[in-house]
Structure formats: structure tokens, C-alpha cells
């Protein structure tokens, strides 16, 4: 039987937030099992150590930043910028 980890454990190991781990689970990038009762309002996930190893082996192709990168942000030209003084 392999060990099961919580999303908080995974967040610490990967150096990301718990919310980011939840997004990885919801997107299907990280395989997890919902161990909550059927009547529970929120899921309670556990990640198999083998699933974490498979995610890590897949490399950075599965790991994406949540927000846009610096180069994809559009800046206003000086003529369109709002002046506050």
C-alpha cells in the first residue's frame, strides 16, 4: 500500500499554494481521490504518492502559472494612460 498525501503536503513539496494544488486536481493534471462523505459539501482530496511521482515525471508541461505571464500583458500607450494629478 502506498502513502497518501494531503493537498497541503503536496503544496509544501512543490512550493505552491494549496489553491494551486486544487486547480491542478480539478484540471486533471494531478490525480487525486475524493475521500469525503457523499453528503459532504466540499471535497476532501488525498493524492497517492505514485500519482505525485507521475506528475513530477511529466515535468513542467503539466505545471502552468495561474495568471498571465509578464510578456502577455498589454500595456497602455502613454496617450491612453489615465492621469491622476
pLDDT for residue 82: 74
pLDDT tens digits for range 37-59: 999 999 999 999 999 999 998 87
On the 0-12 / 13-18 / 19+ scale of CB atoms within 10 A, 2 is: exposed
62 has a pLDDT exceeding 50: no
Sheet holding 4-5, edge to edge: 4-5, 45-48, 33-34
**Average pLDDT in the chain:** 83
Q: What is the DSSP letter of 5?
A: E
How many domains in the chain? 1
pLDDT for residue 10: 94
Does residue 39 fall inside a structural domain? Answer: yes
Residue range(s) defining the domain that contains residue 29: 4-61
Highest mean pLDDT among 2-6, 23-27, 58-62, 64-68: 23-27
Does residue 34 fall inside a structural domain? Answer: yes
Amino acid at each position: 500500500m502506498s502513502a497518501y498525501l494531503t493537498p497541503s503536503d503536496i503544496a509544501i513539496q512543490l512550493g505552491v499554494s494549496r489553491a494551486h494544488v486544487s486547480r491542478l486536481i480539478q484540471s486533471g493534471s494531478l490525480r487525486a481521490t475524493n475521500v469525503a462523505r457523499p453528503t459532504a459539501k466540499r471535497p476532501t482530496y488525498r493524492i497517492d504518492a505514485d500519482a505525485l511521482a507521475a506528475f513530477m515525471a511529466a515535468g513542467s508541461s503539466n505545471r502552468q502559472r495561474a495568471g498571465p505571464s509578464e510578456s502577455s500583458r498589454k500595456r497602455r500607450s502613454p496617450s491612453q494612460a489615465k492621469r491622476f494629478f
